[in-house]
A and B are shown apart, each in its own frame.
Chain A
């Protein structure tokens, strides 16, 4: 059974139909890529999964439960973590604190006044956070303030923050956008490792190199509609997809 089911989702912004009857099924343990030209509605669709936007009509089910009407923090507590187009981290906190915080959110829930026991005594959570930092290659900088990191390292940190929550579904909006080539390659390698652990991912991506080295399935969005869905190899040859990308310059 699909872990994420999107059925007949529509979303209008004034006169603009940003999403037009979108259907999508994501199977557990797979990497599902969503590609499409600028303004196709990719981010809009993703925002409908996390409670930032509410579709006008349609169904978004995660693990058998409707996500519609849920707040972002409730959706996260249900097991959906996301990374943003520009990494969103806690710039004033140290790296290890950045990763401990999501671990606390998993253990203690959306709100708990845990105001007496020092963070220093939370050795279990700290070790877990350090392990995640080691996984993404940032353990040496655990005590650095996060705002000091390079863009690529911020992305790694953000991934560590998501992974420590052991998400059932990880959403990524253009994880390599605006990155230097070396950072991009590093990030792809890391994403492959994460995929190898069997974590289900939905990736929005412009970079076809990224898509074809990661994805198990690809949905192509153009002007708010899914014009094709298939395995990466067959998407490359699809005529409709070629047309959508103006003669296939990208492919």
Chain B
């Protein structure tokens, strides 16, 4: 999909994005999402999805193994906390680099195939990493218990610079700024903004145009003098670095890394986020990540008592009926809601939530009828 863009439009987009990140606590308050833990999740999964979209949205290569890079990022960050310092900067830099290196290795092999074979190869690699983390690699991953901080950790940089951590297990920080609560959210928010900006630059660059062309017609690329393999590999590595960074941030908020982060369900989740929000759009992946994490955290927390409250305006029999039906969709049943939402969107808005947003925008501008948003006027010979 071609987004008509201009410098002014992009500037407004960035400004709007920055404002939402800055005022997220107030914006999400009315829908019950205005607390730091959840907003931090929005930001971290937003980064994961924005990076995934650089691969899937632009080149069309659908990876089913990106959770592997997420896991690698988390393990790397925790090791950095154990061996080097509780400062998050080295941890995040190393997590990003390791995510990229892993992606280089896996991408180099998987990109020899395209379409479903590529997807299967990435899935196989990720499942392999997941199983290795539980078996052969236990010295590095600490197996089922997960990798944790301990009192005996050397933390050589902290020791070198005389950083004191007190008696309990130390917590992560950025030069003394705590990474929990609101400062933790704002740190993740700033990183999200920066990574969104990088993605925007890539989208608007000749490199981004090449990646879109790969999706459009690889055959034409080759006969136009372009070697497509390094382009797809570069996109794969960049998205792997985003995933590594997101995994590192997860460890920042909670310095514990487990193999379940690499499971195929986690890989599938980022695919859902991207498609739900709008594949190949700039904002879509962030939206999709937000919606899914919102459902996961808010809807799953609803129980019968809250529902009774919601329907208390109904007569008693109706109230019980309404609670019985809606009860299926909340609590444990939040997956059902998400599934239904996903189906509705894929059927009615194949371009994801962003297509909906664009249609509404077009309605406001007036004159445009349904469906014309994405299709410029046809021309005749």
Contact = CB atoms under 8 A, between A and B. Distances in A.
A226 to B, nearest CB: 25
Interface string A210-232: 00000000000000000000000
A106 interface: yes
A101 B226 CA distance: 9
B7 A120 contact: yes
B376 A116 contact: no
Contacts of B219: 88
Contacts of A81: 223-224
Interface string A104-147: 11101111111111111010000000000000000001011100
B231 interface: yes
A150 B381 contact: yes
B275 to A, nearest CB: 17
Interface string A149-168: 11011000000010001000
A77 B215 contact: no
Contact of B206 (A88, A91, A94, A119): A119
B166 to A, nearest CB: 43
Given A89-B217, A145-B376, A72 B209 contact: no
A245 interface: no
A32 to B, nearest CB: 20
B2 A119 contact: no
Contacts, number: 125
B210 A104 contact: yes
A72 B228 CA distance: 11
A238 to B, nearest CB: 33
A90 B217 contact: yes
A144 B375 CA distance: 9
Given A90-B213, A93-B2, A111 B226 contact: yes
Nearest to B220: A88
Contacts of B222: 71-73, 76
A113 B205 CA distance: 9
A68 interface: no
Interface string A167-203: 0000000000000001100000000000000000000
Contacts of B1: 92
Contact of A145 (B2, B206, B210): B2
Contacts of B221: 73
A111 B227 contact: yes
Contact of A90 (B216, B225, B230, B379): B216
B333 to A, nearest CB: 39
14 contacts: A50-B223, A88-B217, A90-B212, A90-B216, A91-B216, A93-B209, A101-B213, A105-B224, A106-B225, A112-B207, A116-B201, A120-B204, A144-B379, A148-B375
Given A119-B205, A165-B224, 17 more contacts: A73-B226, A76-B222, A77-B225, A88-B217, A90-B212, A101-B226, A104-B209, A104-B210, A105-B226, A108-B206, A111-B226, A114-B205, A118-B201, A118-B205, A143-B376, A145-B2, A182-B381
